[in-house]
Amino acid sequence: MRNPAMIGERIFLRPFEVDDAQLLAEAMHAESETFMGRGRRLESPMTVEQWMRTMYDETDEVCFAICLRQSDECIGLIAIDHIDLINRTAETGTRFHNPEYRGRGYGTEAKHLILEYAFHRLHLERVVSFVFEPNTRSVAALEKQGYQTAGRIKYDDVKDGVIRDMLVFDLTYDEWLAA
């Protein structure tokens, strides 16, 4: 395992490396029902690499590569963003580069590790996550971690000519402990 920050049963989270820029840029261009980060701009490996280099200067974002323990392969990313240490809140998000890694429990394991980081290392009290409807896999994964539906933002996104709502989920430290 290269430079693990957090270790799970089948995966580990590590800081991004410049070599991950190509994979992340490809993921941003690929079919996706979920990707929200960085907006609707087309991204090249060079702009992603530049973002990676400056990301560590940011004080309100922590982003990790999700890697398989068995092979060290980077299969996705997970982040805590909009970190507000005064109000002790933040946003979490997960993205897999390849659809073959979805629905296999890697996201649940990664989310557990990042929530442990959010609640125990950053001492946050509440985290929020957003899901484009009808992404039922992401909804199920969040609910498995103890997230509760907090609301809906109507007409938030257009994909293939269809307007989609965004669902809002939140999780408090106490709810996470009880889940």
Rounded Cα distance between 127 and 171, Å, is 5
Alpha helix ranges (H) inside 4-158:
21-29, 45-55, 106-116, 136-145
Residue 38 pLDDT:
40
Predicted pLDDT at 91: 96
d(CA 159, CA 11): 31
DSSP structure class, residue 129: E
Q: Model's pTM, two decimal places? A: 0.81
Pick the CATH number of 6-178 from 3.20.20.140, 3.40.630.30, 3.90.1150.10, 3.20.20.150: 3.40.630.30
Could you give the angle at which helices 106-116 and 136-145 cross, rounded to 10 degrees? 40
What's the pLDDT score for residue 102? 84
pLDDT at res. 160 = 74
What pLDDT score does 114 carry?
96
Q: Quick one: DSSP state of residue 119?
A: I
Per run of 10 residues, the mean pLDDT along the chain (length 179 residues) is 81 85 66 47 58 64 91 91 96 86 90 96 97 87 93 82 89 95
Q: At what angle do helices 21-29 and 45-55 cross, to 10 degrees?
A: 120
